[in-house]
Structure 1
């Protein structure tokens, strides 16, 4: 299998190297292409830095995965996934792995995640994709357990490869030394943390992240993850709603 590894935390993120290493150890042919700069919250946006549609691509060497082709791309992860599907980094990938993201991606807010956006973009272009996130919380430990996230994801690699083209899965793993197999879970309305807009009198606003008060829905991805269980959710990209009467 040809695997593209991308993320929204940027080319130098430790979670990216850990996920690439896991794919290499699984025996897949790996290419890394990730944003040159941090690009969280970009969803499936196709923005790229450059004039007249030209996007800068810089060859990089990542010491954690020696010998693996790696590219720092001046673009959001959604555009990277689209470009990969059209041969920008060699043969189009069979599988796209996005992550490991620094922070959970749960609930309907996955709509805004660049990690998930790359996976969904890859899926609508014919690849099988897996977004992987580590629940480090708002006060992360000095050394997050990237290897735990990769170990849980790697156990799904063969299953992912056998699923239909266009499959997109969203995996979240608790930040602990060991974790069991993921439980399939529906999306919560919100996760345990959410974005909050604070208005001020100067005509601007500040975007912050806050902890959600109250109980999370039982059985949801947010609730199970908060209880220490990895979760996996099969995602469907944008499609028509045949049940809406107009």
Structure 2
């Protein structure tokens, strides 16, 4: 299988290199293309940092991945996934792995995630995609357990190849030395952490992350992850709503 590895934390993220190594170890043909700078919260945006539509691409070599083509791209991950589908980094990928993200992506707020946005963009262009995130919390330790996230993700690799083209799976893994098989679940209304807007007196506002108070929805991805379980959720990409009567 031809696999593209991308993320929204940037080309220098250790989670990106760990996920790429996992794909190599699985026997896939791997290309890495990720934002040149951190691009979290960019959803599936097609923004590039060049003028007149031109986006800079720099060839890189990632630690421990000698011989694996890697590119730092001055663009958001959604645009990188689109470019890959159209042959920018070689033959179009059959699989897109996005992550490992530094922080969970759970609940409906995944709409805003660049990690998930890359996976959704890949799906509408015919690839199967897996977004992978590590739940480091608001006070992360000094050494995130990237290997745990990759080990759990690898248990889904073969299953992903058997699913229909356009499939998207969203995986979240607790930040610990070991994690069991992921539990299939749905999305919470909110995750354990959510974005908060603090309005100022000068018409400006400040974006912060806050811990959600109260009980998380039973059985949801956010609740199970908070209890120490890895979770996986199948996502639909953008489509019409046949049930709306208006």
TM-score interval, normalised by the smaller of the two chains: over 0.9
Q: Which residue is 1:25 aligned to?
A: 25
Q: Which residue is 1:97 aligned to?
A: 97
Moved over 3 A (4+): none
**Equivalent residue pairs, number:** 246
CA shift digits 1:60-96 (9 cap, x unpaired): 0112211110000000000000000000000000000
Q: Separation in 1 of the partners of 2:172 and 2:146?
A: 12
Q: Which residue is 1:39 aligned to?
A: 39
Aligned counterparts, 1:190-205, within 5 A: 190-205=190-205
Secondary structure of 2:149's counterpart equals helix
Q: Separation in 2 of the partners of 1:154 and 1:245?
A: 42
Q: CA deviation at 1:241?
A: 1.1
TM-score, with structure 2 as normaliser: 0.99
Secondary structure of 1:172's counterpart equals strand
- List alignment gaps of at least 5 residues for structure 1: none
Secondary structure of 1:196's counterpart equals strand
- List alignment gaps of at least 5 residues for structure 2: none
Q: Which residue is 1:4 aligned to?
A: 4
Q: Separation in 2 of the partners of 1:129 and 1:213?
A: 32
Q: Separation in 2 of the partners of 1:224 and 1:196?
A: 23
Q: Which residue is 2:56 aligned to?
A: 56
Q: Separation in 2 of the partners of 1:96 and 1:158?
A: 13
Q: Separation in 2 of the partners of 1:166 and 1:203?
A: 42
Q: Which residue is 1:125 aligned to?
A: 125
Secondary structure of 2:46's counterpart equals coil
Q: Which residue is 1:107 aligned to?
A: 107
Aligned counterparts, 1:120-199, within 5 A: 120-199=120-199
Secondary structure of 2:197's counterpart equals strand
Q: Separation in 1 of the partners of 2:209 and 2:191?
A: 11
Q: Which residue is 2:213 aligned to?
A: 213
Q: CA deviation at 1:239?
A: 1.1
Q: CA deviation at 1:203?
A: 1.1
Secondary structure of 1:223's counterpart equals helix
Q: Which residue is 1:81 aligned to?
A: 81
Secondary structure of 2:98's counterpart equals strand
CA shift digits 1:133-161 (9 cap, x unpaired): 00000000000000000000001100011
